[in-house]
Amino acid sequence: MINHSNFNNDLPRLAATACLVGPCVMVLSDILTIVLNNKVDPIVQTISGFAVGSYGWLEKIGIMTIAISFLLIGLVLLNGSNTKNLCLLKTAGILFLVAAAGFLFTSLINTTLITAIAGIHFSFHKFSLVIGSIAFYQACLIFTGLMIPKPGLRAFGIYSGFVYLVGLTTFLWVIFSLHYIAYSGLAERILAAVNLIWIMAIGPHVIKFAGTTAAEKHQPRILKPQLEYNQTETGAQPPFSTIEVQGNELEKTNSQPLKLQQHDNSCQGIYDERY
């Protein structure tokens, strides 16, 4: 029987791991496919073109790992506890699920089961790739608006905006171009690199962004411990955490120990101001 509580606790960790592993597998699978098909020029041939050729299953594995990364990010966003940006985060979660489905179908449609109908095969493949990519770029736009106002995340927000503008424009130009692009393979791989950098560098911060409000509720911002001074003779305690000693009181107070007491509302944890 599945423990849903443990699953929800492990989900962000799995998603963060997928953000690092997925792009690495994608790059490695593309390199291996290019090496094994040394007679095909990768500058001209696209990733999808390699996927339907010899050793195409390597490219499919790489695309599927990206789909899994998107799937886990989407689930984290949909189950996140950041109530301040709940609507935007859930919208981004849905977009990541759509992107995951698009990339999954992009890889599966390259099977030999439907290649006999070349027109339908190409149409399904292109449609899945377009829908998945546009959903990913729209999610980048959402996190552009969420991250730029945060000083610690501003650089990530700017890069998300860059991915949205440059990535979406280039992708649409390549996919809907009415003329032959001589270096379509190179253009596609540069665009893929831009996307993979986003997944590796910003994906883990997106996952953390989704759940910081829950931690904030249980972790007060008071970080400075309070010092309590016990005077055995009078039983009096100074109301402040600092103790002033003057004149002949020095010798007396040196004999009394200072006790560091951790109250319920102090030192509960470190609050990350970036999120």
Q: Do 112 and 227 share a structural domain? A: no
Domain final residue pick, 197, 217, 237: 217
| Claim to verify: residue 201 and residue 226 sit in the same structural domain | no
Q: Is residue 21 located within the same domain as residue 112?
A: yes
Spatial contact of 160 and 198, defined as CB atoms under 8 Å apart: yes
Tokens 């698009």 belong to 102
At residue 10 the predicted structure's pLDDT band, cuts being 50, 70 and 90, is: confident
Looking at the fold, whether 208 and 83 belong to one and the same domain comes out as yes
Instruction: Show the domain range for 93.
Output: 4-217
pTM of the model: 0.72
Residues 231, 106: one domain?
no
pLDDT at 51 over 50: yes
What would the two tokens of residue 192 be? Answer: 């893929």
DSSP class of residue 84 equals G
Section 165-174 average pLDDT: 81
Among 71-75, 154-158, 262-266, the least confident range: 262-266
Mark whether 146 and 267 lie in a shared domain. Answer: no
Task: Provide DSSP, 174-224.
Answer: HHT-SS--TTHHHHHHHHHHHHHHHHHHTHHHHHHHHTHHHHHHHS-S--S
Query: Is the model's pLDDT at 151 over the cut of 50?
Result: yes
> Number of folded domains in the chain?
2
Q: Are residues 131 and 238 in the same domain?
A: no
CA distance 166 to 154: 18
